[in-house]
Amino acid sequence: MSVRLRFAPSPTGYLHIGGLRTALYDFLYAKGHDGKYILRIEDTDQTRYVEGAVENLISSLTWAGIVHDEGVFIENGKIVQKGEFGPYIQSERLDIYKKYIQILLDKGYAYYCFCTKERLDEVREKQRAEGKTPMYDRHCRNMSKEEVQNRIDAGQEYVIRLVVPDNKDITWTDPVKGQITINSSEVDDQVLIKSDGFPTYHFAVVIDDHLMGITHAVRGEEWLTSTPKQKLLYDYFGFEMPQFIHLPTVLNKDRKKLSKRQGDVATSDFKDKGYLPEALVNYLALVGWSPKDNKELLSMDELIAEFDFDRVSKTGGIFDVDKLNFINNHYIKESDAKRIAEIAVPSIVKAGLMTEEQTKDRFDWIVLVTDALKERLNYVSEIVSHMNIFFGDTVTFETDEAEAIVKQEHVKGLLEAFIAELDAIDDIDEEFTKNIFNILKKKTGAKGKNLFMPVRCAVTGQQHGPDMGKILIALGKEKTINRLKELVTRL
Ligand code: GLU
């Protein structure tokens, strides 16, 4: 039997980086086992629905290269569904849930509950006061059929709850967590159908995973305690349970759950900052999993070939931004400058360095600048803090030391010789940058540090920086001459 895995997010806003990792593991396992990867939208909690969230989820996944075979897609700006097991949006499956809840009601595995919110609050409060975990007190569990019918006929609001047996060990095996046993006395008589007629997550997920032929249900470990309820449902229906796999939580360096308050957690935050999808995916795969040889740089194809759940760690994976930056820098360096420049444009406009119009007219120049700077970038939007050396016709010294280097006696002559060489060419090209230091050395006698440092400081105002040849090419003849001439008047 071929494997079928699903990612089943709720459209409540954005795609959390932990969710992206779940989707990635689903995808890697499915692709590595000749299986199918499905995207289902779990929107049964209508109060948490956020407009545009489905589109955001799908565009984040698509950007990351985690593309599903079946389920919900966006085509020409519209939500469409593809596959034999649809609909893949839970709010469109209400009739299906109705049919299955009736089976449970008929078998006595579910019951109507008419308790009001006020009563439930009271019960909970009392339990809390007695130091007990708040749970439904099963008030309606043994109501007679007649009374149930009378109340329904009278238009009373109700929910439908799961019958949880008394004191029964519920056991299952998780490839990551091992064997787990939870006693049913810790399990609440879970609401399966809410008063608005919608199923709860717990009910819908079981019906859908079963009907969609899911073989592996992969999710964050925060769902571990809901598994006994779901296992009971599988048993009541006589369905075969998929392999449940609970992934360790993605933690920050303080070993706390990665949360929005501490910074970036949405996939789109990383995209906007200028993390490359292949870098984020590569790094995320390693948060809680490692390949056999502990290799750190892996392409999607390598991840597919290497990934398995048996090497997922039991405990939380630490999200280490420094390591992500290291990996991202590696992929930025490997990418061509044009691709990085395209990613950089929105940040350049946002920082007010250029207008949108200018970025279009001078895109080729942005590519040259990017080519000079990209090896220094942890993420692409950082480019704006390195770009200042490319603007303006006068040089501002970053440090007193840089200024002192230029103010050395021999430098004026050196810069004048440089200006003369520049005057003689049409524009700066690679050939020129390769030869210029040799020429200046011959003409002025300056060499080594006394040659390179003054030129760098005179042109950029900085002692350290990107490759000098690339800087000169990006600056061009005119700007370089203007800067040097202005500077020479000050020496
Ligand atoms: N809808 C759940 C979520 O938002 C999915 C949990 C599961 O995969 O069972 O995370």
CATH of the domain at 473: 1.10.10.350
Q: Is residue 377 part of a domain?
A: yes
Residue among 42, 93, 200 to mutate when testing ligand 1 (max atoms within 8 A of CB): 42
Does one domain contain both 107 and 238? yes
Atom of ligand 1 nearest to the CA of 19: 10
Establish whether residue 205 lines the binding site of ligand 1, counting it when its CB lies within 6 angstroms of any ligand atom.
Answer: yes
Q: Is 260 a catalytic residue?
A: yes
- For ligand 1, whether the C-beta of 405 sits within 6 Å is no
- Distance of alpha carbon 43 from alpha carbon 199, whole angstroms: 10
- Number of separate domains in the chain: 4
> Residue 113: its pLDDT value, please?
98
CA of 193 to the centre of ligand 1 (A): 17
205 vs 217: CA distance, rounded Å = 10
Cis ω for the linkage preceding 466 (within 30 of 0): no
**Which residue from 457, 460, 425 is spatially nearest to 439, judged by alpha carbons?**
425
Residues 386 and 466 in one domain: no
Q: Is residue 452 located within the same domain as residue 345?
A: no
Q: Among 390, 423, 453, identify where a domain stops.
A: 390
Which helix (H) or strand (E) segment holds residue 247: the answer is strand 243-247
Counting from 1 in the atom list of ligand 1, the atom nearest the Cα of 9 is 4
CA distances in angstroms from 295 to 75, 259, 317, listed in the order given: 37, 28, 17
Domain assignment of residue 136, yes or no: yes
The answer to whether position 432 is within a domain reads: yes
In a domain, 327, yes or no: no
Place of tokens 């810069």: 415
Last residue of one domain, picked from the residues 247, 279, 301: 247
Residue indicated by tokens 């130091």: 131
Q: How far is the CA of 37 from the centre of ligand 1 (A)?
A: 15
What is d(CA 170, CA 184) in angstroms, rounded to the nearest whole number?
7
- The CATH number assigned to the domain holding 135 equals 3.40.50.620
487 lines ligand 1 (CB under 6 A): no
Residues 234 and 98 in one domain: yes
Whether 246 lines ligand 1, by a CB cut-off of 6 Å, is no
Distance 218 CA to ligand 1 centre (A): 9
pLDDT score at 258? 81
Q: 10 Å Cβ neighbour count for 5?
A: 27
Neighbours of 332 (CB within 10 A): 28
Q: What pLDDT score does 475 carry?
A: 96
Q: Does 460 share its domain with 375?
A: no
The whole domain housing 36 covers 4-90+250-318
pLDDT of residue 255: 81
Q: Are 252 and 262 in contact (CB under 8 A)?
A: yes
What ligand 1 atom has the least distance to the C-alpha of 209? 9
Both ends of the chain: CA-CA distance in Å? 80
Pick from 5, 6, 10 the residue to mutate for probing ligand 1's pocket: most ligand atoms within 8 Å of its CB: 10
Q: Establish whether residue 42 lines the binding site of ligand 1, counting it when its CB lies within 6 angstroms of any ligand atom.
A: yes
222 contact partners, CB below 8 Å, separation of at least 6:
249
d(CA 280, CA 321) in angstroms, rounded, equals 10
**pLDDT tens, per residue, the chain with 491 residues:** 799 999 999 998 899 999 999 999 999 999 999 999 999 999 998 888 788 999 999 999 999 999 999 999 999 999 999 999 999 999 999 999 999 999 999 999 999 999 999 999 999 999 999 999 999 999 999 999 999 999 999 999 999 999 999 999 999 999 999 999 999 999 999 999 999 999 999 999 999 999 999 999 999 999 999 999 999 999 999 999 999 999 999 988 888 888 776 678 999 999 999 999 999 999 999 999 999 998 999 999 999 999 999 999 988 788 999 999 999 999 999 999 999 999 999 999 999 999 999 999 999 999 999 999 999 999 999 999 999 999 999 999 999 999 999 999 999 999 999 999 999 999 999 999 999 999 999 999 999 999 999 999 999 999 999 999 999 999 999 999 999 999 999 88
270 Cα: distance to centroid of ligand 1 (angstroms):
22
Cα separation, 312 vs 289, in Å, equals 4
CA distance 330 to 303: 17
Asked if residue 340 and residue 309 are part of one domain, the reply reads: no
Mutate which of 198, 205, 206 to test ligand 1's pocket (most atoms within 8 Å of Cβ)? 205
Task: Looking at the structure, tell me whether residues 172 and 223 fall in a common domain.
Answer: yes
Q: Is residue 162 part of a domain?
A: yes
Which of 262, 288, 318 lies at the terminal end of a domain, its last residue?
318
Mutate to test the pocket of ligand 1, among 49, 215, 223, 250 (most ligand atoms within 8 A of CB): 223
User: DSSP secondary structure string, 261-286?
Assistant: GGS--BHHHHHHHT--HHHHHHHHHH
Tell how far the Cα of 217 is from the centroid of ligand 1, in angstroms. Answer: 9
* Alpha carbon distances (Å) from 468 to 329, 411, 422, 453, 487: 20, 17, 15, 10, 18
Q: Global pTM?
A: 0.93
Tally Cβ neighbours within 10 Å of residue 182. 18
**76 and 193 both lie in a single domain:** no
Our measurement of the distance from residue 347's CA atom to the centroid of its chain's CA atoms, rounded to an integer in Å, reads: 19
The answer to whether residue 330 sits within a structural domain is no
**Marked catalytic residue, from 260, 333, 360, 434:** 260
Tell me whether residue 395 is in a domain: no
Alpha carbon distances (Å) from 134 to 45, 63, 206, 294: 22, 43, 25, 45
The answer on 153 and 238 residing in a single domain is: yes
C-alpha pair distances (Å), 345 with each of 300, 341, 356, 437: 26, 6, 8, 33
Residue 8 Cβ < 6 Å to ligand 1: yes
Q: Find out whether 11 and 41 touch, Cβ atoms under 8 Å.
A: yes
How far is the centre of ligand 1, averaged over its atoms, from the C-alpha of 10 (Å)? Answer: 7
117, 194 contact by CB (below 8 A):
no
Q: Which residue has the tokens 């859908």?
A: 208
Residues 176 and 146 in one domain: yes
175: tokens are 């490839």
Domain shared by 29 and 56, yes or no: yes
Whether 219 lines ligand 1, by a CB cut-off of 6 Å, is yes
Q: How far is the CA of 205 from the centre of ligand 1 (A)?
A: 8
CA proximity to 359, closest of 319, 318, 387, 320: 387
pLDDT at 262: 67
Query: Does residue 33 form part of some domain?
Result: yes
Identify whether residues 207 and 105 lie together within a single domain.
yes
CA 489 to each of CA 394, 432, 439, 456: distance values in angstroms, whole numbers, following the listed order: 11, 25, 23, 18
